[in-house]
Structure 1
Amino acid sequence: MRRGWYALPSAPPVELAAVRAGGVVTCLSLLHHLGLWTVERPALHVALGDSSVHDLRPGWVGHWRRWPGQGRRSFSQDGVGAAVLHLVTCVAEDDAIVTIDSALNTGLLTSDALLDLRALAPIGKRDLFTRVDGRSQSGLETRTRLSTRRHNVRVRTQVPVSGVGRVDQIIGDRLVLESDGHRFHSGIEQFHEDRRRDLELARQEYLCIRLDSHQIMEDWPRTEEALFTLVRRKEHLWTAAQRRRHGIE
């Protein structure tokens, strides 16, 4: 694979490619390889450190910077912390937050480690770490949360509702957003359970909107406009009559 390097037949192709290029897999490529949510990018990201000898193919991304205290996971993988720091300097802030949320939610990154990474990040990138929320269980939830907060509208994540269980998000008092990605919502049993939950939410006077991955990741301007039309009409808030019925002061 490279002079002085040998690989087992089971070695992942992404790691083989990075080592052949003269480095280790990092940034989006590593974090996606580890099962985290990422906004897809076709390029391979390779950490090269201070090496001047490399064989990057056209379209691949080389990362030369080293981060103090952030070592490598293996001979073919960069450290998670280093990959996250490369990430925040490489992609759009919302895209980076999607992946960092996922790292926290899966336990690949701890809250304490996140504070350390914030201190190491370039000054202009440190603010994005304050907008991370590891309770989000998918990149779809992260995207909708970030948009809602940019509009200065209250949004809560993974909220328990009696008789329903946890819902992905509640905007304001009663506008429930459920994000149905194909990776996580499939099968007839889940379909029936989702409809049971929707009916119970309606009985309790919540307004439930289900969004799929295309609406959030590919058609967000149209989706956002529809959602915030509801907000402008104040349909995300309890009416006075609903407050009385539910005993809300």
Structure 2
Amino acid sequence: MTWMNVLAGLGGIATSNQLVAGGVTARELTAAVRGGRLLRPRRGVYALPSAPPLAIAAVANGGRLSCVSAARSYGLWGGVDGRTHLRVPSHATRLPDGDCVRHWVDGDPHPECWRVSVPDCLRSAARCATEETAVAVLDTAVSAGLVTLTGVERIFSDQPPWMRAIASRARPGSDSGIESLVRQRLESRGHVVEQQIHVAGVGRVDMRIDGVLYLELDGFAYHSGREAFERDRARDTGLALAGGRRLRVSARQVLEEWEAVLGVVEGVLVVPEKRGVVALK
């Protein structure tokens, strides 16, 4: 097995012990570094030049991506906190470079030296991030199939009551963190939110509120192309033919103009049904 195969199986970064255990010799590693085919961000750690820069920076600082930074590396919601979250050993004395948040909690053994395991990622998000963000991380982990609701309960079984309470709020159905935020915020106001509702002739709709209002959430690339524009309009037409009230909002509006979004949602819910699609501008 070549060092390329070993590194590819570990996310592009591995320790020298892992590489040697995979049959790679010290001479091969030295030659690869000298030839520019490998990086050595830290003594005893090697990385492919194509490895994620944030992951390389994490090991260079003697840590692993944790909390929302690890969540993003797994393709989960990471909130709006742009700082790098690192888990560092309890005996670490060197401070990470840049705008970092240090996590000193020891975690489960994990073969990837540049990020924590999924269970550690979820626990650290619940411990460090805002409650809303932590639930969104859990929701997207469940929807992505990285963990089940039973698995979430098991991961948090030995944690403090307040962390188990956060974990208990996880739900399937949020394909994005934005959908989770909307679900949480509407449910906190007493609304009944159903996610990933199937509508004949339309397919899945992001959510239905109080059984009458269909809500579609557009990502940051809202109407980025003609094809997406036409697809959105076809879905709106299908919902209109199904006779349902419908509302379309963007991720930016959820994050930056939530009070306005909430006002429209609750305003639509209290008035008699109107034909036509509503799109916030």
Question: If the TM-score is normalised by the length of the shorter chain, which range does it land in?
Answer: 0.7 to 0.9
Match of 2:229 in 1: 191
TM-score computed with the length of structure 1 as normaliser: 0.85
Give the 3-state SS of the residue equivalent to 1:179 in structure 2. Answer: strand
Match of 1:164 in 2: 202
Question: What is the identity percentage for the equivalent residue pairs of Structure 1 and Structure 2?
Answer: 31
**CA deviation map 1:192-213 (0-9, x unaligned):** 2221221221223211100001
Structure 1 residue runs of 5 or longer lacking an equivalent are 237-249
Match of 1:214 in 2: 252
Question: What letter is aligned with 1:105?
Answer: S
Q: Does 11-20 or 182-191 show the bigger shift?
A: 182-191
Contact 1:175–1:235 at 8 Å: present in 2 too? no
Structure 2 residue runs of 5 or longer lacking an equivalent are 1-40, 275-281
1:111 corresponds to 2:149? yes
**CA deviation map 1:140-176 (0-9, x unaligned):** 2111111111111111100111121111101112200
Q: Give 1:32 deviation, angstroms.
A: 0.7
Question: What letter is aligned with 1:143?
Answer: L
1:7 corresponds to 2:47? yes
Give the length in aligned residue pairs.
234
Q: Give 1:181 deviation, angstroms.
A: 0.5
Match of 2:97 in 1: 57
Give the 3-state SS of the residue equivalent to 2:196 in structure 1. Answer: strand
Match of 2:34 in 1: none
Contact 1:167–1:177 at 8 Å: present in 2 too? yes
Distance 1:234 1:65, change over 3 A: farther
Q: Distance in 1 between matches of 2:219 and 2:47?
A: 36
Match of 1:22 in 2: 62
Q: Distance in 1 between matches of 2:251 and 2:112?
A: 34
**Greater Rg, structure 1 or structure 2?**
2
Question: What letter is aligned with 2:238?
Answer: E
Higher relative contact order (CA 8 A, sep 6+): 1
Q: Distance in 2 between matches of 1:193 and 1:13?
A: 35
Give the 3-state SS of the residue equivalent to 2:76 in structure 1. Answer: coil
TM-score computed with the length of structure 2 as normaliser: 0.76
**CA deviation map 1:186-243 (0-9, x unaligned):** 432332222122122122321110000111111112211221222344759xxxxxxx
Q: Give 1:24 deviation, angstroms.
A: 1.3
Over aligned residues, Cα RMSD in angstroms?
Answer: 2.1
Q: Distance in 2 between matches of 1:7 and 1:203?
A: 54
Match of 1:145 in 2: 183
Match of 1:224 among 229, 248, 262: 262
